[in-house]
């Protein structure tokens, strides 16, 4: 496999002669199977060679000793190759360049090695003091993995706070402790995040009381910040801004073809990022010119007429941008290994192009384009019930906020007696 990437025989011999030669060759085979580009392979192998020399210089003789040297090696790499980095982002990129291939190789050769992931907590919080809580969330309440991660983040914050004040027993929790925790957390959280924290905390406290881990049900002592329904205006943008955003996409590249199709889906049908990410090839009915969106947030599915513009953009991506894979998802990341695009990535792409186009809007993302789709329907004088059905609202209450942006109807109310409108 090494001969595929390195032409000179002495280079191949030198790699195989290294004391990490066999793990490096296994890693190259894995990179090839994951469809990494040759340039990536030829860039990573020398880094692994340097890592082997670094380990030998420190007297390491077995592969089991290698994990302890990952961070020291990355620090040395940064010292040598990051001297001209002017920003923290650039330095982190250099560190990642050294750490990532080493960790990937060690995962292949060392059973049980996981490296350092992005999760803040290695184990779910309160695993020892409330061991069945996450099983309860998963099996009894049926929460999705993304919701479980949110619970871990919020309860990890709570567990860290209890450790800081040295409160060991959950039975010793009191309303003043809970209030102090919320006050301590509020400066770092927005109103929505603080409401989420309070909701998670109430579920956890009710579980503790149910399982006898807390003598009283303290969930009633946790009050969420007051929220006012319909207090905000949806963050839509004008159709001229939509055109500016689409114009900055370079549709000559696979990334551009993919992102152009994604943004058209968001702004044409008002889809959520999760709905775009979950689309499969089976949801595209080319013969009937239909687009099916299954398992929407409201618990139903929707079938749309497939717009010629949207259909042409998706077809262009499928023919000239989508990687060859047996996975049926429509949209994939471009970098190896080819994996379906996540909903977070969909929203991030929308935010990226809004910024690049210079469109000023609060909290730019995929929902900005969803609001824009609804705003266009409101401007076209569609009934709110029709709009709600089109974008997949479960209740008319969810659509009611868009009455605040029905400018012409509001102008008629302001200028006349309003009876004809009402």
The catalytic residues are 272, 297, 367, 370, 393, 402
Quickly count helices (H) and strands (E) in the chain. Answer: 18, 3
Instruction: Identify the three-state secondary structure at position 329.
Output: strand
Any residues with CB less than 8 A from the CB of 122 and at least 6 apart, and which? none
Give CA 225 to chain center in angstroms: 26
Tell me 372's DSSP state: H
In the block, tokens 């509001």 appear at 410
Any residues with CB less than 8 A from the CB of 95 and at least 6 apart, and which? 74, 75, 77, 78, 82
DSSP string, 252-310: TSHHHHHHHHHHHHHHHH---HHHHHT-BGGGEETTTTEEEE-S-TTS--EEEE--HHH
Nearest-10 crossing angle of helices 145-164, 175-185:
110
Tell me 326's DSSP state: S
* Token representation of residue 120: 């803040």
What is the C-alpha separation between 251 and 254, in angstroms, rounded?
7
What is the C-alpha separation between 281 and 390, in angstroms, rounded?
22
Any residues with CB less than 8 A from the CB of 25 and at least 6 apart, and which? 1, 2, 15, 16
Any residues with CB less than 8 A from the CB of 285 and at least 6 apart, and which? 291, 292, 306
């Amino acid at each position: 496999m090494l001969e595929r990437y390195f032409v000179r025989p002495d280079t191949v011999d030198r790699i195989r002669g290294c004391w990490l030669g066999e793990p490096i060759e296994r890693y190259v085979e894995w990179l090839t199977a994951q469809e990494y580009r040759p340039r990536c392979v030829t860039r990573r192998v020398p880094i692994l060679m340097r890592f082997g020399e670094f380990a030998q210089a420190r007297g390491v003789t077995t592969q089991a000793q290698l994990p302890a040297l990952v961070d020291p090696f990355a620090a040395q790499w940064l010292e040598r190759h990051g001297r001209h980095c002017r920003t923290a982002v650039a330095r982190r990129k250099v560190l990642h360049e050294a750490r990532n291939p080493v960790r990937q190789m060690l995962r292949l050769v060392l059973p049980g090695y996981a490296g350092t992931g992005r999760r803040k907590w290695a184990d779910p919080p309160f695993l020892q003091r409330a061991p069945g809580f996450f099983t309860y969330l998963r099996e009894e309440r049926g929460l999705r993995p993304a919701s479980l991660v949110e619970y871990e983040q919020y309860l990890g914050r709570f567990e860290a706070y209890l450790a800081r004040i040295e409160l060991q027993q959950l039975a010793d929790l009191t309303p003043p402790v809970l209030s102090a925790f919320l006050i301590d957390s509020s400066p770092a959280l927005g109103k929505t995040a603080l409401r989420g924290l309070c909701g998670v905390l109430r579920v956890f406290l009710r579980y503790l009381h149910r399982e006898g881990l807390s003598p009283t049900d303290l969930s009633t002592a946790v009050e969420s910040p007051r929220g006012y329904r319909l207090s905000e205006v949806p963050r839509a943008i004008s159709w001229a801004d939509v055109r500016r955003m689409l114009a900055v996409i370079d549709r000559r590249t696979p990334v551009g073809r993919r992102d152009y199709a994604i943004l058209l889906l968001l702004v044409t049908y008002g889809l959520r990022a999760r709905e775009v990410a979950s689309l499969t090839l089976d949801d595209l009915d080319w013969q009937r010119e239909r687009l099916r969106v299954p398992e929407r947030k409201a618990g139903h599915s929707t079938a749309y007429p497939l717009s010629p513009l949207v259909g042409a953009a998706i077809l262009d991506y499928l023919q000239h941008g989508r990687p060859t894979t047996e996975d049926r998802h429509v949209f994939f990341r471009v970098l190896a290994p080819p994996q379906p695009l996540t909903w977070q990535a969909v929203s991030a792409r929308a935010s990226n192009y809004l910024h690049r186009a210079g469109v000023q809007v609060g909290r730019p993302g995929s929902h900005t384009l969803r609001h824009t789709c609804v705003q266009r329907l409101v401007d076209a004088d569609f009934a709110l019930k029709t709009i709600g059905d089109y974008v997949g609202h479960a209740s008319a209450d969810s659509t009611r906020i868009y009455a605040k942006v029905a400018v012409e109807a509001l102008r008629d109310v302001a200028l006349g007696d309003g009876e004809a409108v009402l």
